[in-house]
Structure 1
Amino acid sequence: MKRPRSALFVPGDKPRAIAKSRTLGADVIILDLEDAVAPEHKEQARENICAALQEGFPCPVWVRLNISGSIWEQADQEAVLCEKPDGLVLPKVEEAGVARSMTLGVPLWLMIETARGVLAAPDLAAEQSVAGLIVGANDLAHDLRTGPDPERTPLLFALSAVVLAARAHNKGVLDAVYNTFTDTVGFERECLNGRALGFDGKTLIHPSQVETANRSFGVSPADVEAAHELLQAWEAGRREGRSLVTVRGRMVEEMHVKAAQDVLAQAGTSAPL
């Protein structure tokens, strides 16, 4: 699966929202049993999610479970076994043993939401069952005792540390949600900031955010054209035995070739022969 540009949280106790999510164009839907569901609605949410998984989705579907050790943990796991989702999201993970103890045979996405989680990120990303890491910035900011900052300056070290851990182990990594979904300018700015930091995509809380996230973290036609141009120049240079290849006045090295190949892979197109 291509790494998602957009992963939309949908409350498990809202069947209409679950049904609508199939039409929104998000790369991934995350059916939520945790923060978005009140304690008295947990059981109904499990039933809704089980039914939705059996009905199917046009995109990959993950389920966010309640925190490990909670009174809902066993019931959550039993519910998702009704029809295995494409992934499980585990909140507030701080130790690799939590991922190791999950034996449901489903790829795991671990939420990094505390200082301890950030420091453990390299070990978490190294786990074989882990497909990727997700930053939970709201809880992380609280744990770090930082104040609000539209540029996320107090969180930059932690955000980069999570990206670094994921990249070191070739795992996916998703940026945190943006709470003020009516602030479209601020949301797009944070998407572009997340892409610049190295995130694959962004977790979302509202349908209106899907298009912007897909565009911000996606591959444009211009990106694809530039990648093809670079790869064609590289292959031509190799056939001609040239040790130095340039494209538009820029020297091309192996890392540029790999980056161009990654662009085409994300776009779902082929490199030139």
Structure 2
Amino acid sequence: MADLTARPRRSVLYMPGSNARAMEKAREIPADALILDLEDAVAPDAKDEARAQVVAAVKAGGYGKREIAIRVNGLDTPWGTEDIKAAVAAKPDAILVPKINSAEDVARADAALTAAGASPTLQLWCMIETPLAILNIQSIAAKRQGTRMTLWVMGTNDIAKELRAAHTPDRVPMLASLGLSVIAARAYGLVILDGVYNDIKNEAGFASVCEQGRDMGFDGKTLIHPSQVLPCNTIFSPDPETVAFARKTIEAFELPENKGKGVLKVDGRMVEILHAEIAKRTVAIADAIAELEAQA
């Protein structure tokens, strides 16, 4: 599978599959990606209707360059198997599977996609949302090789519930879970998204948590309301000054006279080869964001 880590996932908005109007409006929301949800956002008696609506919405298209994922119900639920069959047939970009607790769960989810006729390019996204998942995080990440798994979504509400932890403003009670997950994701080349922020009206609190997630190394954040999209995009985008310096760094190392050098001075700052690698990713993300927003 191609490297998808440079694709923008700054803002990834959950949309309830039971709400056809919301999924229609989502075609105009400037989120980088959408998760059409058949799990937590849908009551048990609405599961079948939601599945039909999500499939119809994905098949109808009209979402532009936005990445589209369908979150199915767990494979151990009464709806999971049928969800996967229907989701695969709809041909989204990804299928998000909840409650991944072990490497075996990744293999099982991947096998279910294969059995449903999924193409090799269909991505498997996994929810990391339990203490057991955190304890098994390295072995789960190692399944990046040999499966469709490309991305993790942190289920911070579930993690807090299972830990019996409080949702404090600084998220100290769950920093260990978040940090270990970022480390494992980076070690095995996975994209990783921070969890949701529940207090929709608390704009300052939301911005603070977005900045914390960005600084920890998350690629973006999952969202529960359209009002969160624009501030999230801003915070998770590299600022113009950073992008400009990254371009200068790349250009400096590519000059013939600098071939083989490990350290250079750029605009009065010492930069090393590792900074050139960081710069290349920064520019790739910035260019991808510009392309995405131009076609939105």
**Do Structure 1 and Structure 2 share a fold, with TM-score over 0.5?**
yes
- The correspondence for 2:55, drawn from 20, 27, 50, is 50
Summarize deviations over 1:12-63 as a string: whole Å, max 9, x none: 0000000011110111110000000000100110010110011112111000
Aligned pairs for 1:68-147 (under 5 A) are 68-101=75-108, 102-103=110-111, 104=113, 105=118, 106-127=122-143, 128-147=147-166
Amino acid across the alignment from 1:116: L
Q: Are residues 242 and 79 of structure 1, via their aligned partners in 2, closer, same or farther at CA, if it must alter by over 3 Å?
A: closer
Larger relative contact order (Cα-Cα within 8 Å, sequence gap ≥ 6): 2
Secondary structure (helix, strand or coil) at the match of 1:8 reads strand
Contact in 2 for aligned 1:234/1:252 (Cα 8 Å): no
Work out the CA distance in 2 between the residues paired with 1:213 and 1:193. 12
Aligned to 1:233: 252
Shift of 1:241: 6.9
Work out the CA distance in 2 between the residues paired with 1:176 and 1:260. 27
- The correspondence for 1:39, drawn from 22, 38, 44, is 44
The alignment's C-alpha RMSD in Å is 1.6
Work out the CA distance in 2 between the residues paired with 1:209 and 1:39. 27
Task: Show structure 2 runs of 5+ residues with no match.
Answer: 289-296
For the pair 1:174 / 2:193, whether they are aligned, the reply is: yes
Work out the CA distance in 1 between the residues paired with 2:191 and 2:164. 27
Summarize deviations over 1:242-263 as a string: whole Å, max 9, x none: 6641123332111100000000
Work out the CA distance in 2 between the residues paired with 1:27 and 1:152. 25
Shift of 1:231: 1.7
Secondary structure (helix, strand or coil) at the match of 2:12 reads strand
Count of residues in Structure 1 that have an aligned counterpart in Structure 2: 269
Deviates more, 1:178-187 or 1:97-106: 97-106
Amino acid across the alignment from 1:9: Y
Q: Are residues 243 and 38 of structure 1, via their aligned partners in 2, closer, same or farther at CA, if it must alter by over 3 Å?
A: closer
Aligned to 1:212: 231
Work out the CA distance in 2 between the residues paired with 1:47 and 1:203. 24
Work out the CA distance in 1 between the residues paired with 2:260 and 2:136. 47
Deviates more, 1:255-264 or 1:140-149: 140-149
TM-score scaled by length of structure 2:
0.87
Work out the CA distance in 2 between the residues paired with 1:193 and 1:52. 34
Secondary structure (helix, strand or coil) at the match of 1:228 reads helix
Contact in 1 for aligned 2:253/2:259 (Cα 8 Å): no
Shift of 1:208: 0.4
For the pair 1:159 / 2:178, whether they are aligned, the reply is: yes
Shift of 1:129: 1.8
Deviates more, 1:23-32 or 1:246-255: 246-255
Summarize deviations over 1:74-113 as a string: whole Å, max 9, x none: 2211221332211011112101222212332331111111
Contact in 2 for aligned 1:163/1:173 (Cα 8 Å): yes
Amino acid across the alignment from 1:53: V
Q: Are residues 223 and 71 of structure 1, via their aligned partners in 2, closer, same or farther at CA, if it must alter by over 3 Å?
A: same
Amino acid across the alignment from 1:170: G
TM-score scaled by length of structure 1:
0.94
Q: Are residues 136 and 243 of structure 1, via their aligned partners in 2, closer, same or farther at CA, if it must alter by over 3 Å?
A: closer
> Percent identity of the aligned residues?
39
Aligned to 2:67: 60
Amino acid across the alignment from 1:190: V
Contact in 1 for aligned 2:18/2:47 (Cα 8 Å): yes
Task: Show structure 1 runs of 5+ residues with no match.
Answer: none
